[in-house]
Amino acid sequence: MKETQQLLRKHTSVRKYTGEEIPKEKVYEMLQTAQMAATSHFVQAYSVIYVTDEEKKQKLGQFSKNEFQFKTAGASLLFCVDFKRLQIAGQKYGIDITADSAENILVGVNDVGLFAQNFVVAAESEGYGICYIGGARSGAAEISELFNLPDYVFPMFAMTLGTPTKTNDSKPRLPIDAIVHENGYDVEKYDALLTQYDEELNTYYLNRNANQKNENWTRQMADYLVQQQRPHMKDFLASKGFTWK
């Protein structure tokens, strides 16, 4: 298997690091690599807050309910959807841009995801580990105030990175046949495939090195999706200028 594919297949989230700081020039180098990700219509609707202030780093951990990860991370980042820069670009020509549409929110979220994942690959190729922290959206308003995010900018997720204290086993993903549908969507195959996946993931959970548990994927997803997650986000996005027209 080619080296890049091997790297991608070894990905796992890292939640404890050695505490060794990553040099700023290395962080910027990896961010520049991340910028070469695909972007819808070249809008590049993302910004990243590089958090070097220790007090702000601690508060970011508190607001995202992930304090532990930030304590040992070698670098801490906040990835944001950003249409403010595009608003300013429009003002150069006397144009008021339309940012608050469902399509543009999707564009921004997609751009941030592609940019961040490019960064992850760059970081892991350097031997670092990472963890996405979606909990940043749980404290979106507080984090927005902490970093002085203007209208048309909102936090999508945070990320910690650093030198891992240990290498975890990669968690098994869904069978390839469960996500690939050839020439049309096939609902009928899910019963068998999800049963197979539940058994595989349960075996993984029972035998992994730490945090062993007796769980499977369908039960996890049912429990997670039985209620709406982060319902405050709709009003928060509206407060930042995104009203879902």
Dump pLDDT digits (tens) for 189-226.
999 999 999 999 999 999 988 789 999 999 999 999 99
Tell me if residue 189 falls in helix, strand or coil: coil
Tell me if residue 123 falls in helix, strand or coil: helix
What predicted TM-score, i.e. pTM, was given to this entire model? Answer: 0.95
- Measure the CA–CA gap between 68 and 58, rounded to whole angstroms: 9
Dump pLDDT digits (tens) for 71-98.
999 999 999 999 999 999 999 999 999 8
How many Cβ atoms are within 10 Å of 104's Cβ, its own excluded? 21
Question: 77 pairs with which residues across the strands?
Answer: 50, 159
pLDDT at 1: 67
pLDDT at 168: 81
- Measure the CA–CA gap between 4 and 57, rounded to whole angstroms: 32
- Measure the CA–CA gap between 123 and 10, rounded to whole angstroms: 13
pLDDT band at 99 (very low <50, low <70, confident <90, very high): confident
